[in-house]
A and B are shown apart, each in its own frame.
Chain A
Amino acid sequence: MDLHFGDSKPTDEERAAVDALLGPPESSWEGADRSDADLRWARGGREARDRRDLLLPGLHAVNDRIGWISEGALDYLCRRLTVPPAEAYGVATFYAMFSVKPRPATVLHVCTDLACAAAGAPELCAGIETRLGLGSGVSVERSPCLGLCERAPAALAIKAGDPVRTAVSAPATVEEAVLAAGSPGSAPEEPPAALAVPQAGQDGLMLLHRVGVVDPSSLDDYRAHGGYTALRRAFELGPAGVIREVTDSGLVGRGGAAFPTGRKWQATASQPDRPHYLVCNADESEPGTFKDRVLMEGDPYALIEAMTIAGYATGAHRGYLYLRGEYPRALHLLEHAIGQARARGLLGDDVLGQGYAFDIEIRRGAGAYICGEETALFNSIEGYRGEPRSKPPFPVEKGLFGKPTVENNVETLVNVLPILTMGAPAYAAIGTGRSTGPKLFCVSGSVMRPGVYEVPFGATLGDVLTLAGVREGLRAVLLGGAAGGFVRADELDVPLTFEGTREAGTTLGSGVVMAFDDSVPLPRLLLRIAEFFRDESCGQCVPCRVGTVRQEEALHRIVERTGADAAGDIALLREVGRAMRDASICGLGQTAWNAVESAIDRLGAYE
């Protein structure tokens, strides 16, 4: 590889941002000034290339400090990491949170997604844009779901600098959002995570029992509330014993695919190829989903303990926590928690004195829903575009860095703690035959008490909505998020289990329950869903890249039409949707048409 770099130079600040991450360059081969030694001695090469995975953190470093990524900064980063500039440019332009064009230091992301749209996001956006006209030093960007749906409408301000400052305004008013953008450093504090858990403090909770009860920044408090008993039990059982417990518990992945977790762990553990990796998928970007954020913000040590157990069981010594770029508070709490755990010997070379080495590294996403797809997530960590890989080979065999990898989302991992403390049989007794244990639901929209709810599998949709206090005039419920499906207001007896929803011809997906009353214009909602997928398609395969565009166009055409006038376009939607479901590479394209189809078939939209 003979890399060619342009002659754009980084500014001192850009250079400092990169060097703060990578350390100062050691030779002119890496971007330092030329010294005599450089003429005789070339270094960097392979060694630097092994650091390709620092590309995404490097882009973050520049974007955080400057607010955008200039040619000089990108070229300098490429030199430091021996990454071809064309590839790095392809990566930088893949993510929504980065800009390769100059923009103001402050970006205000205003959510225009489903829950926020229903709560008045369009008016909020218009108001903010009027107040923050040109020259205000703030760039207002319409954003997909920010994972704050329980407090819709939401806005997130990010002000570049050293350090970068962020502020959340939710529920946002024009005044508050403008204030947050103006000086994120002095904006009022966000309410604690526990406010997103209406059940907080109640007896009988298994996953949420510490949220609102413990201080999320105190390791001692965590231990005083039962923390690290599950890890001790894991060490008693040994790796095979842990996998047996998880298998016997009947735990299946909570991210939507519902794959048996024990089987996945076993398959990874038994791979002869080394090293093994553990990846925690905390890239929660499904519109309407915020449970992982609440768990991480309310009980961050639980995730760290659960990751340690998963790593131990599957023979991994390194865990990557891939966190949504839009979750600054979770980032700070987790960084702090990992540091504390390391200092106290709960992470590191010798976890709990048991001779097992394990550490966790946080990687931030940068605004790409597709990176929640497991193989796209691997590409993203490795410093490539977040495009899904085709399977087979499966991650248990060739995952992150081409090595056996087990990948679980936050909720799935956190379930492992009660499994180990109460034992598999007791856990398996909760829920129904095929869906065991407790389940989290993110309830938002037209309800009195939006938030995360924990119920045992088997509760019905109506039960969950009753907990959250459904408002008058319920028209429809979106289950499973944008990739899920709508059900009617008279279908509230659907049991919220994997088999129950399947039987009812819908899906549990990631646990979204978004209620809409009859004041919400359905066609606009469907258009927003279509726009979301068009925006988030990685662009790799034709059915999804072009299909999502054609579907959005058709929905635009029929926004005000019904019956025979809409029939032609509905037929078109169906034909394109069918090919997308059948021929797309990954789940995004395969499910992009689900919600709209269900609205047409079950709700009679456009009739």
Chain B
Amino acid sequence: MTVTPLGIPRRMLEFTLDGEEARVPEGSTILDACRAAGKDVPTLCEGDTLRPKNACRVCVVEVEGARTLVPACSRKAEPGMEVRTDTERARHSRKVVLELLASSVDLSTTPKVAGWLKEYEAKPDRFGPDAARLNEEPKVDNDLYVRDYDKCILCYKCVDACGDQWQNSFAISVAGRGFDARIAVEHDAPLTDSACVYCGNCIEVCPTGALSFKSEFDMRAAGTWDESAQTETTTVCAYCGVGCNLTLHVQDNEIVKVTSPHDNPVTHGNLCIKGRFGYQHVQNRD
């Protein structure tokens, strides 16, 4: 059973969205309003369980009177605002941002991005064959998960999930700056030397597959990863009494990874090491 928490009733505010009246509860973002109106605004760094970091800038929209474009994911709707989501100006920025990203990192495992590249007619190749790329080797330093920063768009979601927003382990952070900025543990050490407790909450929020289960990483390398052949079953974790929800991803009768429903009011998608990674006993058939 999913419990929907009832908040205090909020006042509604009115503003214009692409020329039409929109009514949203006070405190909503422009993105909330867009989604309610069925408009498709691309997002990458926005996370449903995290405070918006608004770093990727693919969700920018035009607000009447603002000098620059504004990120829909974090800007709150204000009464009387005039917002346009699909102008040439906004589309141009989204297109260039997608090109900049796709030309510098590997987006092959980022859901939806292929569609957006097509929709915005982005041509990441036009920066030439010598365009600088991240060129990071995957960091495989423990048995549970792999950090492949060649796919990292620096959305900060994993840092926020590991830090003060959920896990409070503060095992990872952004180091360096500019194009050289990377997610790292202290002294750029292996994960095993860090404060990581292997809750996997960073994997849960990573939008690009830069962080992935070792099982998924190995299967992808072996060419056996097949999402279409997987089933998902949500159940309750059996380890302790908290009652966290687990979603088991099963392929060929094997659990290949574990996620957790984000709309669960107890866990919001977060788990501990046992719920996230402790599934081998289930499939230990000898």
Which residues from B are CB-within-8-Å of A584? Answer: 57, 68
* Cβ-defined contact, A86 with B97, below 8 A: no
Interface membership of B126, Cβ < 8 A = yes
Cβ of B193 and Cβ of A550 under 8 Å apart?
no
A583 x B195 contact (CB < 8 A): no
Contact of B187 with A89 in the complex, beta carbons under 8 Å: yes
B93 touches A71 (CB 8 A): no
B173 touches A553 (CB 8 A): no
Q: Give the complex CA separation of A549 and B105 in angstroms.
A: 13
- Expressed in whole angstroms, the Cα–Cα distance for A225 and B39 within the complex equals 66
In contact, A86 and B194 (Cβ under 8 angstroms):
yes
Count class of interface residues, chain B: 35 or more
Pick the contact of A546: B74, B101, B172 (CB < 8 A): B101
In the complex the two chains form, is B97's CB within 8 Å of A550's CB?
no
> A94: CB under 8 A from chain B?
yes
Task: Chain B residues near A390: list those with CB within 8 A.
Answer: 54, 71, 74
Q: How far is the CA of A392 from the CA of B128 in the complex (A)?
A: 38
Known A89-B175, A90-B175, A545-B178: A579·B127 in contact at CB below 8 Å: no
In the complex the two chains form, is A85's CB within 8 Å of B186's CB?
yes
Asked if B195 and A4 make an inter-chain contact with CB atoms under 8 angstroms apart, the answer reads: yes
> Which chain A residues in 72-111 approach chain B with CB under 8 Å?
74-75, 84-90, 93-94, 100
Expressed in whole angstroms, the Cα–Cα distance for A596 and B173 within the complex equals 34
How many A-B residue pairs have C-beta atoms within 8 angstroms? Tell me.
Answer: 164
Nearest-CB distance from B279 to chain A (Å)? Answer: 25
Asked whether any CB of chain B lies closer than 8 Å to the CB of A6, the reply is yes
B41 within 8 A of A: no
Nearest-neighbor residue (CB-CB) of A7 within chain B: B193
Residues from chain A with a CB closer than 8 A to the CB of B187 are 6, 71, 74, 85, 89, 100
Q: Is B270 an interface residue (CB 8 A)?
A: no
Q: Which of A567-603 contact B (CB under 8 A)?
A: 572, 575-576, 578-579, 581-585, 590
Alpha-carbon distance A538/B55, docked complex (angstroms): 11
Task: Give the most central of B57, B154, B188, B189: most A CB within 10 Å.
Answer: B57
Contact call A94/B179, Cβ cutoff below 8 A = no
A582–B89 touching, CB < 8 Å: yes
Q: Is A385 an interface residue (CB 8 A)?
A: yes
- Do B178 and A537 touch across chains, with their CB atoms under 8 A apart? yes
Residue of B nearest to A386 (CB): B177
The CA of A553 and the CA of B131, in the complex, are separated in Å by: 7
Q: From B163-171, B198-206, B214-222, B244-252, give the one contacting chain A.
A: B163-171
CB distance from A175 to the nearest CB of B (A): 34
A3 lies within 8 A of B57 (CB): no
| CB of B93, distance to nearest CB on chain A (Å) | 4
Give the residues from 28 to 73 in chain B that come closer than 8 angstroms, CB to CB, to chain A: 54-58, 60, 68-69, 71
Q: How many interface residues does A have (CB within 8 Å)? A: 50
Contact residue among B97, B175, B178, B184 (Cβ-Cβ distance under 8 Å from A579): B97
Asked if A2 is at the interface of the complex by the 8 Å CB criterion, the answer is yes
Assuming A550-B100, A579-B96, is B170 touching A93 (CB within 8 A)?
no
Cβ contact within 8 Å between A385 and B174: yes
B170 touches A86 (CB 8 A): yes
**Does chain A have a CB within 8 A of B262?**
no
Q: Which residues of B contact A449 (CB under 8 A)?
A: none
Interface residues of B in 110-139 (CB under 8 A from A): 126-128, 130-132
Tell me if B17 counts as interface (CB < 8 A to partner A): no
B103 within 8 Å of A (CB atoms): yes
Check if A2 sits within 8 Å of B194, measured CB to CB: no
Q: What residue of chain B has the Cβ atom nearest to residue A390's Cβ?
A: B54
> Per a CB cutoff under 8 Å, which of A535, A542, A549 touches B55?
A542
B195/A84 in contact, CB under 8 A? yes
Instruction: Tell me if A534 counts as interface (CB < 8 A to partner B).
Output: yes
A56 at the interface (CB under 8 A from B): no
Complex-state Cα separation, A482 to B39, whole angstroms:
39
A89 touches B186 (CB 8 A): yes
The reply to whether A537 and B128 form a contact with Cβ atoms under 8 Å apart is no
A206 interfacial contact with B, CB 8 Å: no
Cβ-defined contact, B93 with A6, below 8 A: no
A64 to chain B, nearest CB (A): 21
If A84-B170, A539-B176 touch, whether A546 touches B186 (CB-CB below 8 Å) is no
Q: Does B21 contact A (CB under 8 A)?
A: no
Chain A residue nearest in CB terms to B171:
A86
Complex interface: chain A residues within 8 A of B154 (CB): 539-540, 542, 545
Is B256 in contact with chain A by the CB < 8 A criterion?
A: no
A274, chain B: closest CB distance, angstroms:
24
B132 adjacent to A540 (CB under 8 Å): no
Do the beta carbons of A585 and B93 come within 8 Å of each other? no
Q: How far is the CA of A84 from the CA of B185 in the complex (A)?
A: 10
Given contacts A534-B178, A539-B176, contact A550 B186 (CB under 8 A): no
Chain B proximity of A537: nearest CB distance (Å) = 4
Say yes or no: is B23 at the interface (Cβ < 8 Å to chain A): no
Tell whether B273 is near chain A: CB-to-CB under 8 Å: no
A297 within 8 A of B: no
Q: Is B56 within 8 A of A541, CB to CB?
A: yes
Supposing A539-B174, A585-B55, A590-B68 touch, asked if A549 and B186 sit within 8 A by C-beta, the answer is: no
- Note all chain A residues with C-beta closer than 8 A to B58: 542
* Given A93-B175, A545-B154, also A6-B69 (CB < 8 A): no
User: Could you tell me the distance in whole angstroms from the C-beta of B155 to the nearest C-beta in chain A?
Assistant: 9
Q: A582 to B100, Cβ gap below 8 A? A: no
The answer to whether A1 and B194 have CB atoms under 8 Å apart is no
Interface centre among B127, B186, B189 (most CB of A within 10 A): B186
Shortest A387–chain B CB gap in Å is 8
Q: Is A536 an interface residue (CB 8 A)?
A: yes
| Residues B174 and A90 in contact, CB atoms below 8 Å apart | yes
Identify the closest chain B residue to A100 (Cβ): B187
Residues of A within 8 A of B56 (CB): 541-542
- Say if the beta carbon of B104 comes within 8 Å of chain A: yes
Q: Judge if B143 is at the interface, Cβ distance under 8 Å.
A: no
B227 proximity list for chain A (CB < 8 A): none
Given contacts A93-B176, A550-B131, contact A1 B54 (CB under 8 A): no
Q: How far, in angstroms, from A85 to B60 measured CA to CA in the complex?
A: 34
CA A85 – CA B194 in complex, angstroms? Answer: 9
Q: Chain B residues with Cβ under 8 A from A368's Cβ? A: 177
Return chain A residues, CB-CB under 8 Å to B185: 86, 89
Specify which chain B residues have a CB less than 8 angstroms from the CB of A3 in the assembled complex: 170, 195
- Chain B residues with CB under 8 A of A100: 187
Contact, CB under 8 Å: B68 / A582: yes
Mark contacts of B10-24 with chain A using CB atoms, 8 A cut-off: 1 yes-contact digit, 0 otherwise. 000000000000000
Q: Are B173 and A538 in contact (CB under 8 A)?
A: no
A383 to chain B, nearest CB (A): 13
Interface core residue of B55, B100, B101, B184 (most chain A CB under 10 Å): B100
Q: A539-B178, A548-B179 are in contact. List 15 more A-B contacts (CB 8 A).
A: A3-B170, A6-B193, A87-B170, A88-B186, A89-B187, A90-B184, A94-B176, A538-B177, A545-B179, A575-B92, A576-B96, A581-B68, A582-B92, A583-B93, A583-B97
**Interchain residue pairs with CB less than 8 A apart (26):** A6-B189, A6-B193, A74-B186, A75-B186, A84-B170, A84-B171, A85-B187, A86-B172, A86-B173, A89-B185, A90-B174, A385-B174, A534-B178, A534-B179, A537-B178, A537-B179, A540-B154, A541-B55, A542-B153, A545-B154, A547-B96, A549-B104, A579-B96, A582-B69, A583-B69, A590-B68
When A and B form their complex, which 3 residue pairs have the shortest distance between CB atoms, in order from nearest?
A84-B170, A4-B195, A539-B181
